[in-house]
Amino acid sequence: MTFSPSPESSPSKEYSKTPCYTCRRRRVTCDKLLPACRKCHRAGKPCLGYKKPLTWVRGVASRGKMMGLTFDDVSGEQKHSSTLDQPKLQQQLGGYSNGDAGVSPPRERSRSFGQRFKNARAISSINGYQSHTEHVDWNRRSQDMHNQDLHVVQTSPRLLPALTDPVFQDMDELSRHYLTYYDRQFCWLMVLFETRNRNPYRRLLQMVGTSPALCAAIAAIGSCHNLQTLHYSRKSCFDKGTASRLPRSSLQDGDEQFIKSPDPMVRTVYQHVLMFKQRALYLLERSLSDPEQRGEETTIASALLLIILDLVESGRDGWKVHVEGAKRLIQSRLSNCDDGDSLSMFLTGNCMIFDIMGSTLAPSGTWTVPISTQLETTPPQLSASESDLFLGCPAYLLHLILFISSLRHANASSQTRAAQADVSTILSHIDAFDPEQWTLKLQSQVSEISDDSFFPDDSSSPSRIYSLFRPSNRNERPSFRDPYHLASAHKVAITIYATRVLLRPSVEEYSFADQVTQLITHISQIPRSSEIFKSILWPTFIAGIECRCPEQRAWIRDTVETLWLGCLTANIKAAVRVLDAIWDRENDGNVQGDWIEFLDRSNVSWLFV
């Protein structure tokens, strides 16, 4: 029989200098025997040892004035005098609560261009632009950059959820901040209309954990759009429901306006834009140098997002580099592309669309071979993407633009391969397009997805854009006539574009006055309350460059400015600047050729979508 000696049977000759904590709490004399107290063993008590045990307390201290207080309570008392109270802050942030978990669309988002602008002004006041209670001296040049980054995140609207998705756990707080901004403030701009779980640009967030380049590109877009909002929202205002005219000085290119901005937050966010953009370019280059990552969908998605980044940043030239790179990557995948792979179809279709629309305003002869060399039939990727992208141009008309641009650039460069066709045949194909049938087809597609007659219900999706000129009506349901007028506007605009590009009539002997009036009529039928209003830039620009009537020009400029104030992407601002340059040239009598020759001489590739 074995015998387990007790502390009594195996006394130790080693003693502690201090009593054990069990005897201390029992207020008895400890024998200080090591390794355990003999009195504790006799009393049947667990000996806590001779070192101070850990004790959980409900606060930062177990005694004194800090007893029972948490770090949130302490920081809240210190910042109470310099911050907005929580209910008021919650109201100004549009309902973003600390309980919002995950990356998902907010329950309420003002889609009105006027409401979005007013929200931007409210946000800017929270960020410190109009707050007189901010105690940080931002004029000190020795301020540490890291502290500024933290200040941007901490003083910006509470976009970060209380619970962090595992995909975003390993990211720094600044990256998560701009990824959340991209999700809640930008993604809705990239689709024709929001439906339940039907925004492919928001789904790209699911891949940021596996692609650092994709993560950096999304953060760059979020920071760049945030920069535009912070810098320009205070430079324009709404007065009795009308948008103020943008000053021409604000339409100048260059980043000096951000560098020398009197607002410290603008300067800081501009540094974030440069940081994330440089990071995205570096990581994309590293992915391209790796044979295993070169053909992955995340690499193509990163290139696509850099195209969009240039739209937000300027819409000038930079997008073309990324389009050409994406075309090479996609061309190697077309033979292996599965028509059932929705992600591949989305990436290919969107890159095709940006390539096609960019070719319309690129200098003659600078466009390379299109992604799809099959000019005889409409590529299936275009049909699959026409309801996903915000452009709103039917796939049939996009294919015709592809054909027309191939002919245009083939005449100026032998590098582009294009089929030959009679101009009258092309115009007859354009005339054969039926906007009514296309709209009914689009309506049926959306009805299958959203379980609604055309648009999802307010309770399950972000609120729609409401008119800038009348109060919002929550019960108002958008008419399916809006996409009809958008398709009709594209049809007329492509007719004007094809005639100008292929026939090249002189400005003096040929006028598109009737077509421009018809085009403006269709655009004016799309309410500024409609979510589809964000898709009118390209047809409106075509109407503007062919317009000769001063009243129509004023209406076009006001319409594009309203679009700019609602979307705040710099390519819209650049479109106003280009229109002003073309009109000033005609007003001064210095007309040398049509607008195509003007764009050729400028040697700038614009992307106005």
Calculated CA dihedral for residues 297, 531, 229, 129, nearest 10 degrees: -140
At 167, is the pLDDT very low, low, confident or very high (cuts 50, 70, 90)? Answer: confident
Rounded Cα distance between 95 and 376, Å, is 50
The pLDDT assigned to 135 comes to 31
The pLDDT assigned to 88 comes to 38
At 406, is the pLDDT very low, low, confident or very high (cuts 50, 70, 90)? Answer: confident
Residues 6 or more apart in contact with residue 178 via CB below 8 angstroms: 218, 219, 220, 222, 223, 226, 272, 276
The pLDDT assigned to 277 comes to 96
The pLDDT assigned to 147 comes to 52
Which of 161-170, 177-186, 438-447 holds the top average pLDDT? Answer: 177-186
Q: Give the DSSP H or E segment for 273.
A: helix 264-288
Higher confidence at residue 325 or residue 115? 325
The pLDDT assigned to 216 comes to 96
88 burial type by CB count under 10 A (0-12 exposed, 13-18 middle, 19+ buried):
exposed
Beta bridge partner(s), residue 239: 242
Averaged confidence pLDDT in the chain: 74
Rounded Cα distance between 167 and 178, Å, is 15
The pLDDT assigned to 36 comes to 82
Q: Please count the other Cβ atoms lying within 10 Å of the Cβ belonging to residue 47.
A: 20
pLDDT digits (tens, 9 = 90+) for 323-357: 999 988 888 776 666 666 788 888 988 998 999 99
Rounded Cα distance between 113 and 267, Å, is 25
Q: Are 455 and 193 in contact, with CB atoms under 8 Å apart?
A: yes
Higher confidence at residue 330 or residue 92? 330
Residues 6 or more apart in contact with residue 146 via CB below 8 angstroms: none
16 burial type by CB count under 10 A (0-12 exposed, 13-18 middle, 19+ buried):
middle
The pLDDT assigned to 243 comes to 33
Rounded Cα distance between 591 and 509, Å, is 14
The pLDDT assigned to 254 comes to 64
Any idea what DSSP says for residue 112? -
Span 368-375, mean pLDDT? 63
CA neighbor of 534 nearest in space, from 555, 563, 497, 491: 563
- Coil/strand/helix, residue 208: coil
Torsions phi, psi for 541 (to 5 deg): -65, -40
The pLDDT assigned to 111 comes to 42
Whether pLDDT at 489 is above 80 = yes
Residues 6 or more apart in contact with residue 195 via CB below 8 angstroms: 446, 449, 450, 455, 456, 461
At 417, is the pLDDT very low, low, confident or very high (cuts 50, 70, 90)? Answer: very low
The pLDDT assigned to 48 comes to 86
Residue 292 carries which side chain, given as an amino acid letter? Answer: E
Residue 416 carries which side chain, given as an amino acid letter? Answer: T
Whether pLDDT at 280 is above 90 = yes
pLDDT digits (tens, 9 = 90+) for 529-545: 888 899 999 999 999 99
The pLDDT assigned to 104 comes to 37
Q: Give me the helix-helix angle, 513-524 and 537-546, nearest 10°.
A: 150
Whether pLDDT at 568 is above 60 = yes
pLDDT digits (tens, 9 = 90+) for 18-74: 999 889 888 898 988 888 888 888 888 888 888 887 766 666 666 777 776 765 554
Task: Tell the residue number behind the tokens 């201390």, with chain if given.
Answer: 24
Any idea what DSSP says for residue 465? P
Highest CATH level, class, for 1-56: few secondary structures
The pLDDT assigned to 39 comes to 87
Whether pLDDT at 5 is above 50 = no
pLDDT digits (tens, 9 = 90+) for 215-258: 999 999 999 999 999 988 755 433 323 333 444 434 445 678 88
- Coil/strand/helix, residue 559: helix
Q: Per-residue DSSP letters for 11-75?
A: --S-B-SS--HHHHHHT-----BSSS-HHHHHHTPPP--SSPPP---SSSBSSSTTBT--HHHHH
CA neighbor of 346 nearest in space, from 405, 317, 316, 304: 304
At 138, is the pLDDT very low, low, confident or very high (cuts 50, 70, 90)? Answer: very low
Q: Are 192 and 392 in contact, with CB atoms under 8 Å apart?
A: yes
Vertex 228: Cα angle to 267 and 268 (nearest 5): 15
**Integer angstrom CA distances of residue 122 from 157, 238, 241:** 10, 14, 17
Q: Per-residue DSSP letters for 77-104?
A: HHHGGGS--HHHHHHHTTS--TT--SS-
| Percent of the chain whose pLDDT exceeds 70 | 66
pLDDT digits (tens, 9 = 90+) for 261-276: 888 999 999 999 999 9
Span 439-459, mean pLDDT? 57
Residue 111 carries which side chain, given as an amino acid letter? Answer: R
Tokens of 104: 């998902």
Q: Is the peptide bond between 35 and the residue preceding it cis, with omega within 30 degrees of 0?
A: yes
Residue 589 carries which side chain, given as an amino acid letter? Answer: G
Q: Please count the other Cβ atoms lying within 10 Å of the Cβ belonging to residue 170.
A: 9
CATH 4.10.240 domain position(s) in the chain: 1-56
Whether pLDDT at 13 is above 80 = no
Higher confidence at residue 73 or residue 467? 73
At 281, is the pLDDT very low, low, confident or very high (cuts 50, 70, 90)? Answer: very high
Whether pLDDT at 120 is above 50 = no
The pLDDT assigned to 337 comes to 60
**Integer angstrom CA distances of residue 565 from 528, 534, 539, 604:** 12, 11, 18, 24
Calculated CA dihedral for residues 477, 483, 484, 486, nearest 10 degrees: 130
The pLDDT assigned to 472 comes to 38
The dihedral built from the CA positions of residue 212, 213, 219 and 222, taken in this order, carries a sign that is negative
Task: Tell the residue number behind the tokens 């440069």, with chain if given.
Answer: 274
Rounded Cα distance between 100 and 508, Å, is 60
Task: Tell how many helices (H) and how many strands (E) occur in the chain.
Answer: 25, 2
Whether pLDDT at 192 is above 50 = yes
Q: Are 565 and 236 in contact, with CB atoms under 8 Å apart?
A: yes
Rounded Cα distance between 523 and 484, Å, is 10
